[in-house]
A and B are shown apart, each in its own frame.
Chain A
Amino acid sequence: MERTVVKIDNLVKRYGELTALDHFSLEIKEGEILGLLGPNGSGKTTTINCLLSLLSFDKGRIEIFGKEMTPTSYDIKKEIGIIMQNVAVFDELTVYENIDYFCGLYINDKAKRKEYVEEAVKFVGLEDFLKFHPKKLSGGLLRRLNIACGIAHKPKLIILDEPTVAVDPQSRNKILEGIQELNKNGATVIYTSHYMEEVEQICTRIAIMDKGKKIAEGTKDELKRMTRNTETIIIEILDLPKAIQDKISGLPHVYKADYDDDKLTVYCSGGKHNLLRVLDLLQKEELSFGRVYSELPTLNDVFLEITGKALRDKEE
């Protein structure tokens, strides 16, 4: 049976009148990449800060590796690697010195530390920037340095709090691949983000948060099964008669058909070959159409269905 690495039980955290965490519970098993997904202000970072014993909380209990987590749980802290949302490195130190400094807070043995630091440098691909100061690095390289500082001591539990914010796509992919590799090497990972694509790409299990509460939890397939919608078909079409639209709405597994702005959107729930059936009907009615595409449900659809609002703000 898989060991429970993190157990958060009934956590409540209030900032005055605002309840940031509202009886939040979560269990993370060894070897998982757990994605903590939620819009900005949903309580992800507060959860992480409570987990790390940086923040006090009003109610609840946190256990890591089977022991209660407190600010003086140094034996537990030794096994945790943290990559903060804000880059936390010394501007005055070089890339190598920064990694060595943070690794040295965990590893006393100099020879072992040197080996670990070199491995971390290779892992994030900063070999050519060892003598650079952080201010000379691009945003993506800086994020990689931030990650190297957090994982150099080879922790068993790695917590990444939105590590790809303001990172270019190339660096983002490199970071995500790196996280998967760390997981393959045995680390349990907690990954917070409001980018659902990232969470879908790397996480083995996902917990969705909103307003300090866990609103859904499971694998991405389990979560998607929570929605009525299983497929959305979009067809560009000119002048669709209302009668045809109604016929489409009546097809098997179609629960809704909208026509707006020369676009027909067909929402399906279950079933197979839904697209073929819709196209067949349009051909029979001798209607010409343009581009056709089909979308599978996303985590945003899950969030939308549960909360009635989009996961990500429009400007994001």
Chain B
Amino acid sequence: MFLHELKYELLVCLRVKEILIWMIIFPVCLGAFFKMALYNVYEKDIGFSTIEVAVVENSPNTALHTVLDNIEKQDDAFLKATYTDKEEAEKLLQNKEVSGIIFSDAELTLTVDGKGMRSTMLSDFVKTYNDRQRIITEAVKNDPVSAQAVIDELSKDISTCTEIPLNDGNPNYYVQYFYNLIAMVAIFGSLTGLHITINNQANLSALGARKNCSPTPKSISTLASLIGSIIIQGGCMVICVTYIKYVLKVDFGSHLPLVYISAFIGGILGVSLGFFVGSIGRIRTDMKTSILISVSLLSCFLSGLMVGNMKVTVQKNLPWFNKINPAAVISDSFHCLDYYKGYDMFITKIVTMLVISAIFMLLGFIMIRRKKYADL
């Protein structure tokens, strides 16, 4: 009976147009849009990591030389300095051979050609350098004994700041949009989960009533539907990641298998969310669909899928919420691969997703366990 139910659940899910639209066509179109709209910007702006900069010194600045030399020595150095005079530097900037000119005098000043990520990074570097130079000068003037300790500490800090890539992933800003897209598709899996309860509850549909009259226990029927939906949702997640990786050629770094795993488990979380909402009380199906779409969108919104800073705001005000918000947990699992050395944080996020899914499923089963209804 279980396999019979599972077979037909898969067949039905494969033929539901909404699933095809939201789980496959939607991410394909939106992914292509992201690629067209954003990826070119990325290639143009920070596609290669080193920023060429011309340095014009009024008098030799050994401290600046030391800092720039240290930066250039590092793997994936973000700056490469060319020491030259003002005229040559301006020519280089005009020919776009450098992204900016650093003038070294009492303080550093910067000239850039237009706005962009590179200009912002150069500006940040110049500002940080000037701030620290002031602190060191003050320290030498006021407390010469401890000045060396201050210089060492600040120099160490500058070095650390340049070590941005912490893992072997791709931490560029634009890949995040694709991670967010995958998370959104996973959350849309909730619509598949909702359809399970509608088709198995006698008080929600005529189909549910007919199934409840059969000798197949509701638990078996629901479990088969749940597993069928997870398989279909998992398939959609695999298609989504494969499309982004191999058709749109978005670089997920060296963690592709983990991205697949995370996306699949995210899909389970989405399905279980829908199953849980679908099981709540006797609310009309269209009302449940509206609630689910609202919950999904709110979850995505609060996880920063629509407004970049939202997750930080939530983290400041309701830090616990980010730990249980389904969309935040899914997108965090991808981010962990890029931003954290080792897999501890990734595993934590995966376990969190599985625990939340298990809780949703358990609560769903408890709520639909009822055998008779007071009203149909």
Residues of A within 8 A of B372 (CB): 53-56, 71
Is A54 within 8 A of B202, CB to CB? yes
Q: How far is the CA of A97 from the CA of B11 in the complex (A)?
A: 10
Residues of A within 8 A of B217 (CB): 72, 74
Task: Write the chain A residue with the least CB distance to B4.
Answer: A104
Task: Write the chain B residue with the least CB distance to A53.
Answer: B372
Q: How far is the CA of A106 from the CA of B217 in the complex (A)?
A: 11
Residues of A within 8 A of B214 (CB): 77, 102, 105-106
Is B216 within 8 A of A105, CB to CB? yes
Identify the stretch in B44-52, B156-164, B205-213, B261-269 within 8 Å (CB) of chain A at 4 or more residues.
B205-213
Task: Write the chain A residue with the least CB distance to B203.
Answer: A54
Of A71, A86, A97, A108, most B-chain CB atoms within 10 Å: A71
Is B215 within 8 A of A78, CB to CB? yes
Is A88 within 8 A of B16, CB to CB? no
Residues of B within 8 A of A49 (CB): 209, 376
Residues of B within 8 A of A82 (CB): 210, 213
Q: How far is the CA of A101 from the CA of B209 in the complex (A)?
A: 15
How many residues in A have their beta carbons less than 8 Å from beta carbons of B?
33
Q: A84 and B209 in contact (CB under 8 A), knowing A54-B376, A102-B214, A106-B214?
A: yes
Task: Write the chain A residue with the least CB distance to B8.
Answer: A101
Is B209 within 8 A of A88, CB to CB? yes
Is B210 within 8 A of A149, CB to CB? yes
B352-376 contact mask (Cβ, 8 Å, vs A): 1 or 0: 0000000000000000000111111
Is B215 within 8 A of A77, CB to CB? yes
B199-230 contact mask (Cβ, 8 Å, vs A): 1 or 0: 00010011101111111110000000000000
Q: How far is the CA of A106 from the CA of B216 in the complex (A)?
A: 7
Is B371 within 8 A of A53, CB to CB? yes
Is B211 within 8 A of A105, CB to CB? yes
Interface check A117, CB cutoff 8 A: no
Which of B15, B205, B371 meets A71, CB within 8 Å?
B371
How many residues in B have their beta carbons less than 8 Å from beta carbons of A?
27
Residues of A within 8 A of B15 (CB): 92-93
Instruction: For residue A104, give the distance in angstroms from its CB to the closest CB of chain B.
Output: 4
Residues of A within 8 A of B21 (CB): none
Is B1 within 8 A of A105, CB to CB? yes
Q: Which of B250-285 contact A (CB under 8 A)?
A: none
A177-189 contact mask (Cβ, 8 Å, vs B): 1 or 0: 0000000000000
Q: A55 and B373 in contact (CB under 8 A), knowing A97-B8, A105-B215?
A: yes
Interface check A293, CB cutoff 8 A: no
Q: Which of A99-135 contact B (CB under 8 A)?
A: 101-102, 104-106, 108
Q: A92 and B16 in contact (CB under 8 A), knowing A49-B376, A105-B216?
A: yes
Residues of B within 8 A of A74 (CB): 215, 217
A75-94 contact mask (Cβ, 8 Å, vs B): 1 or 0: 10110101010111110110
Q: How far is the CA of A90 from the CA of B195 in the complex (A)?
A: 12
Q: How far is the CA of A93 from the CA of B10 in the complex (A)?
A: 11
Instruction: For residue A73, give the distance in angstroms from its CB to the closest CB of chain B.
Output: 9
Interface check B12, CB cutoff 8 A: yes
Q: How far is the CA of A54 from the CA of B376 in the complex (A)?
A: 8
Task: Write the chain B residue with the least CB distance to A49.
Answer: B376
Residues of A within 8 A of B215 (CB): 74-75, 77-78, 105-106
A228-253 contact mask (Cβ, 8 Å, vs B): 1 or 0: 00000000000000000000000000
Q: How far is the CA of A192 from the CA of B161 in the complex (A)?
A: 79
Of A56, A108, A150, most B-chain CB atoms within 10 Å: A56
Is B373 within 8 A of A56, CB to CB? yes
Q: How far is the CA of A52 from the CA of B8 in the complex (A)?
A: 24
Residues of B within 8 A of A86 (CB): 206
Is B209 within 8 A of A104, CB to CB? no
Is B373 within 8 A of A54, CB to CB? yes
Task: Write the chain B residue with the least CB distance to A104.
Answer: B4
Task: Write the chain B residue with the least CB distance to A82.
Answer: B213
Of A78, A92, A108, A149, most B-chain CB atoms within 10 Å: A92
Q: How far is the CA of A86 from the CA of B371 in the complex (A)?
A: 21
Of B206, B215, B216, most A-chain CB atoms within 10 Å: B215
Q: Which of A34-92 contact B (CB under 8 A)?
A: 49, 52-56, 70-72, 74-75, 77-78, 80, 82, 84, 86-90, 92
Of A74, A86, A101, A150, most B-chain CB atoms within 10 Å: A101
Residues of A within 8 A of B205 (CB): 88
Of B5, B16, B373, most A-chain CB atoms within 10 Å: B373
Identify the A interface with B (CB < 8 A). 15, 49, 52-56, 70-72, 74-75, 77-78, 80, 82, 84, 86-90, 92-93, 97, 101-102, 104-106, 108, 149-150
Top 5 closest pairs, chain A to chain B, by CB? A71-B371, A88-B206, A92-B15, A105-B214, A74-B215
Give 19 new A-B contacts, CB below 8 A, not counting A49-B209, A74-B215.
A52-B212, A53-B371, A54-B202, A54-B213, A54-B376, A56-B373, A72-B371, A75-B215, A82-B210, A82-B213, A88-B209, A90-B12, A90-B207, A93-B8, A105-B214, A106-B215, A108-B1, A108-B4, A149-B210
Identify the B interface with A (CB < 8 A). 1, 4-5, 8, 11-12, 15-16, 202, 205-207, 209-217, 371-376
CB<8 Å pairs between A and B, sample of 6: A55-B374, A56-B372, A87-B206, A92-B11, A101-B4, A150-B210
